[in-house]
Amino acid sequence: MISEAESITHQHLLSVLNTELTKLDLADTVRVLDIGCGDGHLIKYLTANIGVLNPAMKFEIYGFDVDDHGVQSEGYFAQTIVLLEENFPNIPWQERLRVISADEPWPYPDGFFDIVLSNQVLEHVADHHMFFAETHRTLCDNGIAVHLFPSKHCVYEVHLHLPWVHRISNHDLLETYIRFLSRLGLGKYKRHNKKSPLSVEKFAQRHADYIFFFTNYLTCSELCKLGKTHHLPTTFRYTKEFYSAKLRAILGLKPTYIFNKNRSVLADSLSAFFLRYVSAVTLVQHKTQRYTEQD
């Protein structure tokens, strides 16, 4: 039985992986990497459920996060390990989970993983070229990468819930804009102020810094170019299924853990084009190259 997900994002990623696994010719043991694993709850959910959906396969799930990003609380990763050890005591989490610096290579051999994934991480990556280069290096041939995240196209920035703040590069203008909208009652200021009283001026200063220093949004076109540069064919299929999952949850319907494989490329492309303005897109990349000189 599949356990209930804490987040629609977790459920969606499980469904994408389950759908893609049925199309891939992988070894009996499938290695999965959660990039930016944070509190470990996505790893916990995948560990509990991916084997239930694929009982003939053995899964090894790994994860890493960075310790110099500046937004995580001190000691958070020790709590991540404790959480996973309490739920799955027979898995060597001390070996599976790592903390690294943001600018150092990922601590895994070439071609080690069948699947790499991330949840709400790509909008925080400082060096996307390094990110996709390491994705290509650590993926095995025919491996896949799946990333769920908001693109630069989205109207409302997902962390502040304010329109277009992530598109303003002038810091003075950004701070003024956040302060103005917060005084109008928009965004997270009122809720934040109830938990931790702070003047609107201080709120605007700190969150302008957050947007400026800790987010790095890309357009879908930029993401496709990065995929091409690093030899990772890129698509945004399954984007519409994320919103379908949200709708099913609102209506009280059971989740879907496998998607239609006979897909319309046109429908996928059009839905991703419009839904990228709402919130998250689903980026799927395959490490494959099927052309030969004989062709």
Chain segment 28-42, per-residue pLDDT in tens: 789 999 999 999 999
How does residue 293 score in pLDDT terms, banded at 50, 70 and 90? low
Q: Over 70: is that where the pLDDT of 70 sits?
A: no
3-state SS class at 38: coil
Average pLDDT, the chain: 93
The neighbouring-strand residues paired with 34 are 63, 117
Q: Over 80: is that where the pLDDT of 18 sits?
A: yes
Which residues touch 237 (CB under 8 Å, ≥6 apart)? 263, 265, 268, 272, 282, 284
Give strand ranges (E) for the chain.
29-35, 58-66, 97-100, 113-119, 139-150, 156-157, 162-163, 234-235, 280-286
Q: Which strand ranges, in their side-by-side order, compose the sheet holding 139-150?
A: 97-100, 58-66, 29-35, 113-119, 139-150, 280-286, 234-235
How does residue 20 score in pLDDT terms, banded at 50, 70 and 90? very high
Residue with tokens 């819930």: 161
- What is the DSSP track for 140-190? EEEEEEEEEEE-TT-SEETTTTEETGGG---HHHHHHHHHHHHHTT-TTHH
Domains and CATH numbers, the chain: 8-151+216-286 (3.40.50.150), 160-214 (no CATH)
Gap between the Cα atoms of 270 and 254, Å rounded: 26
- pLDDT tens-place string over residues 273-283: 999 999 999 99
- pLDDT tens-place string over residues 99-156: 999 899 999 999 999 999 999 999 999 999 999 999 999 999 999 999 999 999 999 9
Closest CA to 204 of 241, 173, 232: 173
Closest CA to 130 of 103, 153, 108: 103
pLDDT recorded at residue 124:
95
Least confident of 73-77, 154-158, 242-246: 73-77
Predicted structure pTM score: 0.94
DSSP H or E stretch at residue 250:
helix 239-251
What's the whole-number mean pLDDT along residues 24-30?
A: 78
CB distance 37 to 116 below 8 Å: no
What's the whole-number mean pLDDT along residues 218-233?
A: 97
Closest CA to 34 of 67, 5, 10: 10
| Tokens found for residue 103 | 């600018």
73: number of Cβ within 10 Å: 7
Specify the pairing of strand 58-66 against strand 97-100.
Answer: parallel
Closest CA to 143 of 47, 44, 259, 27: 27
pLDDT recorded at residue 59:
96
- pLDDT tens-place string over residues 160-176: 999 999 999 999 999 99
